[in-house]
Structure 1
């Protein structure tokens, strides 16, 4: 073992021990310093940190188990696929026997960081927790483990959590269902529509955006109403952009175009500007084809996204993907010919 590796191996147990001491203060009092900075440092060790955390999951002390789960989550967030499967496997196994709500909270949060679809049944079980903090973590974690299209169980648990008595849980479930997920269908839209009448502003705004993202016709009069209010939530501008309806332009014209979401809404609701945008992307495609006719070029839009994407491939091993009317055009100074040059250069790297 190298000197640096040996030093790190020595440091990690001490990091988790110090984190446990801090976390214990959180559990026993109102202290907010949970030692996450120490766990983040320990997470840098990657597989070493995972082994250390797994070794603490059977500890008799619930605070130690919770800290070990937190370390697995932090390590998964830092090192991604290198450690996520092992971390998720350990967390799922622990959940089968764990009864403590504090540890359930940490399990749910850490499973979200693993992005492992195998975690969904565990999260569905934890969604039935009587502890609203645990249910909140489930609402935040479920979208992170869903495939595309999402599993029915994932849709169902988010729909259920949209009606949770705790407004924070409802907010995150509505956000997860409407924004983080591409789930669609009558049940999804009904759940989002019901939340447009929620008593909390954030929940209502998330629900309206979720409906608009699915181009649900019921969202148009709702967004008109929201835009006419004295205070307009930033998510309402995103909802307007997804609807792309010219009838919203008179309402949008009164807002500062530099404010978050307003410029995008103005563009998407203006058929003339949208046509100009589409023409620019078409010119990129033509320019690439003129320079490199052997390349395969596709322009497309995602069902739940705004704007147009550009895919270019040589038909073999080389491919590239851009948000054509976003980053690529900005890099090119809004010049389609220059954008074509940049796309080809990116592909040839």
Structure 2
């Protein structure tokens, strides 16, 4: 795409965005910006040049274009994040702040965290919402203390949508744990909005916190049960949930997962298959180091295969066994082939 075509699309998007800001229209020109973003470096060059425009709508649209380009071109994310961080250091308009926060989330750049933490203090609820959405995307694993702290603060925001996304980010996207994290999630289980309560329960369950069990029981007894509740049940892996789960369709993935994790017999069969798989790999390749392990914030078991050089493989045991028709011997052949051909 030629630079003049990119500029034309951008100018059209600016006019649409202006209508949104000034009169509440719903078409913000995102489709035009996505087309312009296809050009990659040309789009970034144009957008960076417009970040200093005196018109706030132009600056906001430039941020939106940078975010769209970052979503499509991973190689440009570092440059995009740098430009947005520099802009945010002296930008004062909340409309531009909104676009900065959203675009920074699209960069997945950890350097964006201090900027997002600063924007979390905005009096504008829409800006805080975008921060709640963006922060989990830029967090390392485990997250920095500042990232954990800002999500905890946003979990108690006055706006329910901000609380919901912050609770989702803290409890489900992030693996942060500790007394402060669990207290924030527990507090949200008492929220006045059901979506926030469900996120709080799911976040606690993911950390295997026993306080989530009665909450999940109550949620499973409701007329309508969200898939988040089945996920929470799976993490708790408590047999007392089986009678409540039996009434749901086991053909639904989330239900099947919860039934499998809560049933001690099925878990034992899975663990036995994982053990047989480990031994089968070792018999075939005694030169390899093989380990089976589980993560607190993940379901199921994982298999690691390494040697003393640069050979390594990591896979989800349940998925590998399904590929092999639940035959550990066949699964051993598959994982060795996967690792050695990588």
TM-score, normalization: structure 1?
A: 0.94
- 8 Å CA contact 2:12–2:32 kept in 1: the answer is yes
1:146 to 136, 139, 155: 139
Indicate the SS of the match to 1:45.
coil
Q: How does 1:1-349 map to 2 (within 5 A)?
A: 7-80=1-74, 82-326=75-319, 328-349=320-341
- 8 Å CA contact 2:94–2:127 kept in 1: the answer is yes
Indicate the SS of the match to 1:111.
helix
50-59 or 104-113: which moved more? 50-59
- 8 Å CA contact 2:85–2:115 kept in 1: the answer is yes
Q: Give the Cα separation in 2 of the matches to 1:313 and 1:138.
A: 39
CA-to-partner distance for each residue in 1:127-157, whole Å, 9 max, x for gaps? 1111111110000011111111111111111
- 8 Å CA contact 1:234–1:260 kept in 2: the answer is no
CA-to-partner distance for each residue in 1:279-333, whole Å, 9 max, x for gaps? 112222222222222122221112200011112223322222211212x222222
Superposition misfits of 4+ residues, deviation over 6 angstroms: none
138-147 or 20-29: which moved more? 20-29
Indicate the SS of the match to 2:292.
strand
Where in structure 1 are there 5+ consecutive unaligned residues?
A: 1-6
Indicate the SS of the match to 1:315.
coil
Label 1:9 to 1:334 Cα distance change in 2 as closer, same or farther (>3 A): farther
Q: Give the Cα separation in 2 of the matches to 1:48 and 1:291.
A: 53
| Displacement of 1:12 | 1.7
Indicate the SS of the match to 1:321.
strand
- 8 Å CA contact 2:129–2:165 kept in 1: the answer is yes
Q: What CA RMSD, in Å, does the superposition of the two structures yield over aligned residues?
A: 1.4
Q: Give the Cα separation in 2 of the matches to 1:65 and 1:249.
A: 54
TM-score, normalization: structure 2?
A: 0.96
| Displacement of 1:248 | 1.1
- 8 Å CA contact 2:208–2:296 kept in 1: the answer is no
Q: Give the Cα separation in 2 of the matches to 1:55 and 1:160.
A: 35
Where in structure 2 are there 5+ consecutive unaligned residues?
A: none
